[in-house]
């Protein structure tokens, strides 16, 4: 047994932990670049309280906002604007896009070139990992970006891409995961983000690059998660217990994806997200059940006693123990049924709602990678997955 594992040097987890930010930021110096989303966090009661606490610590604040998924132009502009301000630490408060932007700015403040030069599969430079200290505070529970070592940068359109700026050092120096920050998330955002976290847990669990450590973490998070996504998105939107469980699952999904990799759902998402303006969580959430169906049925046909099916069976039992069965194949099919049910309960929109059509399927399939998927699905099955979720 041998594996590598990367994680944040420090994690603060729990309701109210946002109050730790001023003290932790001050530990790096007195000049903070604070990156937030366009409006949502700044409209909460946390915002004036945080500004007052930062001022009390004699911290000079520079503010940048992220309105969409981070692009080359957005990152380059923020770096240009603040590169001469002697920034000591960067903190990003927001969803996965905001945190990815914070990672990217942190990394590029030490460089003179555009970020495009360092993007995987796009540029031709390797980053040395030097950065400005970075603190991540998620306000959604989905991407797990607060625990990962890459920042996803997008260019949407005909020649669009989703590509990563990646280095082991880009894992946030501190992650502050405060579930109370997610209480104001709309139901649709909660659903999409929660399904993204669930996708990441399941895909990393059955990944060909998984390890005993990532398996243990993923299974533990699935056990805690249960049906909390349904509770928080459809029944009790202010249930802090459900929100805490999803926040934990999201953080762990970031750890497991960073260390085990992901599967074909995220292969789809990387391609589709570069071509269409679709939230990442929506792509994952709408494709999870159908992709899992094809993975499981293909695995059953190949080897009904294989290790990936055993993991799917365990996941089924942890997410819904009331539907338990001793038969591995039956458990796996119970998982398919459960994910299908949740997709319907959460009203996950089809890809067609965002402009994807039948004519786009072939090009999406050709560009979709599945290197860590537990089984290589033929192009015909990939097309069937997309067709089913238009």
Residue tagged 């981070």 (tokens)? 70
pLDDT at 328 over 80: yes
Domains of the chain, by residue range, sit at: 10-182, 187-388
pLDDT at 326 over 80: no
pLDDT at 158 over 80: no
pTM of the model: 0.95
For residue 326, which phi and psi values (nearest 5 degrees)?
-80, -20
Looking at residue 323, its pLDDT comes to 61
At the top level of CATH, the class of 187-388 is mainly alpha
pLDDT at 42 over 80: yes
In sign, the C-alpha dihedral spanning 173, 179, 180, 186 is positive
Tens-digit pLDDT profile for residues 78-133: 999 999 999 999 999 999 999 999 999 999 999 999 999 999 989 899 999 999 99
Burial grade of 8 (CB within 10 A; 0-12, 13-18, 19 or more): buried
Integer CA distances (angstroms), 124 to 52, 127, 165, 354, in order: 43, 10, 12, 32
Q: Which CATH number fits domain 10-182: 3.40.50.2020, 3.40.190.10, 1.10.150.650, 3.40.50.1970?
A: 3.40.50.1970
53 in Cβ contact with 20 (< 8 Å): no
Which residues lie across from 137 on neighbouring strands? 93
Find the mean pLDDT for residues 266-280: 93
Q: What one-character-per-residue DSSP string does 122-135 give? A: T-----------EE
Tens-digit pLDDT profile for residues 287-298: 999 999 999 999
Find the mean pLDDT for residues 345-354: 96
Find the mean pLDDT for residues 59-80: 94
Find the mean pLDDT for residues 168-195: 95
Looking at residue 39, its pLDDT comes to 74
How does residue 6 score in pLDDT terms, banded at 50, 70 and 90?
confident
């Amino acid at each position: 047994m041998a594996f590598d594992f990367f994680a944040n040097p420090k994690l603060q987890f729990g309701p109210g932990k946002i109050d730790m930010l001023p003290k932790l930021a001050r530990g790096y110096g007195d000049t903070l670049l604070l990156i937030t989303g366009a409006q949502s966090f700044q409209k909460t009661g946390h915002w004036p309280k945080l500004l007052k606490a930062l001022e009390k610590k004699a911290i000079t604040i520079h503010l940048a906002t992220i309105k969409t998924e981070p692009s080359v132009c957005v990152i380059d502009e923020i770096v240009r604007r603040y590169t001469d301000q002697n920034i000591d630490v960067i903190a990003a408060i927001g969803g996965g896009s905001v945190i990815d932007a914070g990672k990217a700015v942190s990394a590029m403040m030490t460089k003179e070139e555009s970020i495009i030069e360092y993007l995987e599969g796009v540029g031709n430079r390797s980053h040395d990992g030097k950065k400005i200290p970075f603190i991540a505070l998620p306000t959604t529970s989905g991407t797990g970006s607060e625990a990962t070592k890459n920042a996803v940068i997008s260019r949407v359109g005909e020649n669009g891409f989703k590509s990563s700026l990646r280095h082991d050092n880009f894992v946030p120096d501190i992650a502050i995961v405060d579930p109370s920050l997610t209480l104001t998330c709309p139901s649709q955002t909660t659903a999409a983000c929660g399904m993204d976290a669930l996708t990441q847990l399941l895909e990393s669990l059955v990944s060909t690059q998984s390890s005993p450590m990532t398996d243990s973490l993923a299974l533990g998070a699935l056990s805690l998660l249960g049906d909390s996504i349904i509770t928080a998105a459809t029944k009790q939107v202010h249930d802090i217990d459900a929100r805490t469980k999803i926040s934990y699952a999201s953080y762990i999904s970031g750890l497991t994806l960073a260390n085990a990799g992901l599967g074909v759902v995220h292969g789809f998402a990387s391609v589709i997200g570069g071509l269409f303006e679709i939230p990442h969580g929506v792509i994952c959430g709408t494709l999870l059940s159908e992709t899992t169906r094809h993975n499981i049925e293909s695995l059953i046909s190949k080897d009904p006693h294989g290790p990936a099916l055993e993991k799917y069976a365990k996941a089924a039992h942890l997410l819904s123990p009331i539907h338990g069965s001793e038969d591995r194949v039956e458990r796996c099919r119970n998982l398919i049924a459960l994910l299908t049910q949740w997709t319907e309960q959460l009203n996950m929109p089809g890809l067609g709602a965002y402009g994807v059509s039948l004519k786009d399927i072939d090009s999406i399939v050709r560009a979709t990678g599945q290197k860590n998927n537990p089984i290589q699905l033929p192009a015909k099955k990939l097309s069937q997955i997309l067709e089913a979720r238009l």
